[in-house]
A and B are shown apart, each in its own frame.
Chain A
Amino acid sequence: MRNVVAIAVNVIKDTARKKIFYVVFLFGLVVVALAPLLPTFELGSQASFLRDISVSLTSLFGVVLAVVLSVGQVPGEVDKRTIYNILSKPVSRVQYLLGKYLGIVVSLAAILFVMSLEIIVLLAVRVQVFSPVIFQGVFAVFLEACVISAFCLMLSTFTTVPINVFAAILFYFVCHMKTGFLHQRLVAGSMNGFLKVLAGAFYYVIPNLENFNISQQVGYGGGAGWWYMLRVTGYAVFFSAIFLLIGYATFRRKDL
């Protein structure tokens, strides 16, 4: 565990050095800049709209941050050969990967926490509404970012950064379309046998990232139920673990 934490702390320091935290403040500025453009609603609907759009924007930033933080972790260290100084010490490859992932997750948590504070302050200032439910919405964004990070970290054990970025974007859109297009086709039965089996397997293998989209519930102010949040947390942990396991399986015997 000591090794995992040491590597994670190093990832966090590296993240801070990359000044990625400035993105957070940029996010705040974007939201503030957008706010005056909003149509004049009644106080309640303006607050709902702001909550909804803020969480949606956070989701977008969360995905970008997850990809930026994850894609270069392993290839960057291999290219710069800094990985030799870690893995020649009594550090196993599983500790290395877990440390990287933990560092990314903690960095994401810190950044998204600051973002949620910004939104809450913005809502309090703009529409005089205190909305702690934003934390729940941003937590769902965080879970989604964790899954995407695990996916990117898995890919980073055997692909280059450009391929990883492309795959991550594809993964994001496909996993969000899953409940729409793919589900409809499967239910409608418009596919032939083999294609249906293939699409069915694909449908059940990939995660449904729409599960993490609770911006509307947050917008209404009530949020999602605790049981639902517990289930999506388990869902995120499950898929993250699967991706990390696949990543470890490829990284375990990788020549460096």
Chain B
Amino acid sequence: MNGKAVTLEHIKKTYRVGASRKRRAAVEDLSLEVGYGGIFGLLGPNGAGKTTTLKVLLGLVFPDSGSGTLLGTALGDRQAHKRLGFLPEQPYFYGFLTAEKGLALYGQFFGIDEGILQKKSADLIEMVGLPHDSHLTLDKYSKGMLQRFGIAQALLNDPELVVLDEPSSGLDPVGQKEVRDILLQLKDDGKTIFLSSHQLSEVENICDSVSIVSAGRSVLEGKLSELLTVEGLTRIVLSGEDARAREGLSFARSVEQADGFTTVEVSSGDTYRALEASRALGMELVSAQPYHRSLEDLFLETVKETSS
């Protein structure tokens, strides 16, 4: 598919706060692009403007300035919403409806034929693990069950783009794993997933690309694999610990020994030299690969840099 699923250009959004009604920026200058297919993660600390960004995208709040597109149409065009699924953060639903009736209500907005809707609802309820609770009214649901129902209603129209605000919020580890599997399955089905999260492990595990926002600005954006790779560094893991290693590998950037392994970080140009030195020390090679930092390191580094 050509074009971008989502584009936002220089979005600014302020709110009036306090008794003085002074304007405070929730989003200062945010731009991002999300292509079709794959999982995109919008990362940022609390108050960075993630939820406001999603609301701008969905036409729930109106930016002071800036523009954007959603599934090829200008922001605010309701036609795009026919091809969109949305799960808000900590979702609430009409408590007097059962899961089945809730899905029947939301399904009507997409004009889904009643027979198809019933079948689709049953499948989704099964998929999110609520088949035994579908007769209960939603006010009887736990936080995790509501989250699951929220995912089901977001997928009701078989959307091209699924926007999820903190999808694993309130879920136990098993539930988080299940959500992760659902998102990966959706990705395999060719959907575009746009999720906002501050659960870095979740994002690192499933996202193809990310944008980090801090203080209402987009500060880093790109493919996750590229962002996490540190150019020009190789990490070599050797079996065994040897006191002579620090001396023999003195040209290395770092040498750490723990739990029977020696981890060496060297400039990529020194990789073969390090391998020969370690062989001379009688240490077996376990792995040698381009150095990747963790998303947590990248995130903290980026947020710290921008806030300072």
User: Can you pick out 6 interface pairs between chain A and chain B where the beta carbons lie within 8 Å of each other?
Assistant: A3-B108, A88-B58, A88-B81, A90-B82, A90-B110, A256-B55
Among B35-43, B85-93, B219-227, B247-255, the stretch that binds chain A is: B85-93
Return the chain B residue nearest A9 by Cβ. Answer: B105
Instruction: Tell whether, in the assembled complex, residue A84 and residue B86 are in contact, meaning their CB atoms are under 8 Å apart.
Output: yes
Among B59-67, B194-202, B232-240, the stretch that binds chain A is: B59-67
Q: Which of B60, B92, B94, B111 contacts A10 (CB 8 A)?
A: B94
Note all chain A residues with C-beta closer than 8 A to B15. 255
15 more A-B contacts (CB under 8 A) besides A17-B96, A84-B86, A87-B59?
Answer: A2-B108, A6-B105, A10-B94, A10-B105, A14-B94, A80-B92, A81-B88, A84-B88, A88-B84, A88-B163, A90-B79, A90-B109, A90-B110, A91-B78, A253-B62
Q: Which of B82, B93, B110, B163 contacts A82 (CB 8 A)?
A: B93
A182: Cβ under 8 A from any B Cβ = no
Q: A6-B108, A10-B94, A90-B79 are in contact. Are A85 and B86 (CB under 8 A)?
A: yes
Note all chain B residues with C-beta closer than 8 A to A82. 92-94
- Say whether chain A's binding surface is mostly helix, strand, loop, or mixed: helix
A80 to B97, CA, bound (A): 15
Q: Chain A nearest CB: distance from B63 CB in Å? A: 10
Instruction: Tell whether, in the assembled complex, residue A87 and residue B60 are in contact, meaning their CB atoms are under 8 Å apart.
Output: yes
Note all chain A residues with C-beta closer than 8 A to B88. 81, 84-85, 88
Note all chain A residues with C-beta closer than 8 A to B97. 13
A121: Cβ under 8 A from any B Cβ = no
Instruction: Tell whether, in the assembled complex, residue B81 and residue A90 are in contact, meaning their CB atoms are under 8 Å apart.
Output: yes
Closest 6 CB pairs of A and B: A88-B86, A255-B61, A89-B109, A6-B108, A17-B96, A90-B81
Q: Mark A1-35, 1 if CB is under 8 A from B, else 0.
A: 01100100010011001000000000000000000
Instruction: Tell whether, in the assembled complex, residue B92 and residue A81 are in contact, meaning their CB atoms are under 8 Å apart.
Output: yes
Q: Chain A nearest CB: distance from B108 CB in Å? A: 4
Q: Chain B nearest CB: distance from A96 CB in Å? A: 10
Instruction: Tell whether, in the assembled complex, residue A256 and residue B61 are in contact, meaning their CB atoms are under 8 Å apart.
Output: yes
Q: Chain A nearest CB: distance from B113 CB in Å? A: 12
Q: Which of B90, B91, B109 contacts A3 (CB 8 A)?
A: B109
A244 to B86, CA, bound (A): 28
A81 to B86, CA, bound (A): 13
Q: Chain A nearest CB: distance from B184 CB in Å? A: 23
Which residues 92-111 of A sit at the B interface, judged by CB distance below 8 A? 92
Q: Which of B62, B93, B96 contacts A255 (CB 8 A)?
A: B62
Q: Chain B nearest CB: distance from A82 CB in Å? A: 5
A88 to B109, CA, bound (A): 10
Q: Which of B55, B106, B108 contacts A85 (CB 8 A)?
A: B106
Note all chain B residues with C-beta closer than 8 A to A255. 15, 55, 60-62
Return the chain A residue nearest B61 by Cβ. Answer: A255
Q: Which of A13, A84, A85, A256 contacts B96 (CB 8 A)?
A: A13
A253 to B96, CA, bound (A): 29
A86: Cβ under 8 A from any B Cβ = yes
A87 to B94, CA, bound (A): 14
Note all chain B residues with C-beta closer than 8 A to A14. 94, 96
B214: Cβ under 8 A from any A Cβ = no
Instruction: Tell whether, in the assembled complex, residue B62 and residue A6 are in contact, meaning their CB atoms are under 8 Å apart.
Output: no
B218: Cβ under 8 A from any A Cβ = no
A10 to B95, CA, bound (A): 11
Return the chain B residue nearest A79 by Cβ. Answer: B92
Q: Mark A49-72, 1 if CB is under 8 A from B, else 0.
A: 000000000000000000000000
Instruction: Tell whether, in the assembled complex, residue B92 and residue A6 are in contact, meaning their CB atoms are under 8 Å apart.
Output: no
B153: Cβ under 8 A from any A Cβ = yes
Instruction: Tell whether, in the assembled complex, residue B60 and residue A89 are in contact, meaning their CB atoms are under 8 Å apart.
Output: no
Note all chain A residues with C-beta closer than 8 A to B55. 255-256
Q: Chain A nearest CB: distance from B27 CB in Å? A: 12
Return the chain B residue nearest A3 by Cβ. Answer: B109
Q: Mark A173-194, 1 if CB is under 8 A from B, else 0.
A: 0000000000000000000000
Note all chain B residues with C-beta closer than 8 A to A253. 62
Note all chain A residues with C-beta closer than 8 A to B150. 85
Q: Mark A110-142, 1 if CB is under 8 A from B, else 0.
A: 000000000000000000000000000000000
Q: Chain A nearest CB: distance from B56 CB in Å? A: 10
Note all chain A residues with C-beta closer than 8 A to B58. 84, 87-88
Instruction: Tell whether, in the assembled complex, residue A256 and residue B60 are in contact, meaning their CB atoms are under 8 Å apart.
Output: yes
Note all chain B residues with C-beta closer than 8 A to A88. 58-60, 81, 84, 86, 88, 163
A90 to B71, CA, bound (A): 14
A17 to B97, CA, bound (A): 10
Return the chain B residue nearest A83 by Cβ. Answer: B60
Note all chain A residues with C-beta closer than 8 A to B96. 13-14, 17
A85 to B81, CA, bound (A): 11
A255 to B13, CA, bound (A): 10
Instruction: Tell whether, in the assembled complex, residue A2 and residue B106 are in contact, meaning their CB atoms are under 8 Å apart.
Output: no
Q: Chain A nearest CB: distance from B258 CB in Å? A: 47
Instruction: Tell whether, in the assembled complex, residue A85 and residue B93 are in contact, meaning their CB atoms are under 8 Å apart.
Output: yes
Return the chain A residue nearest B96 by Cβ. Answer: A17
Q: Mark A242-256, 1 if CB is under 8 A from B, else 0.
A: 000000000001011
A78 to B124, CA, bound (A): 27
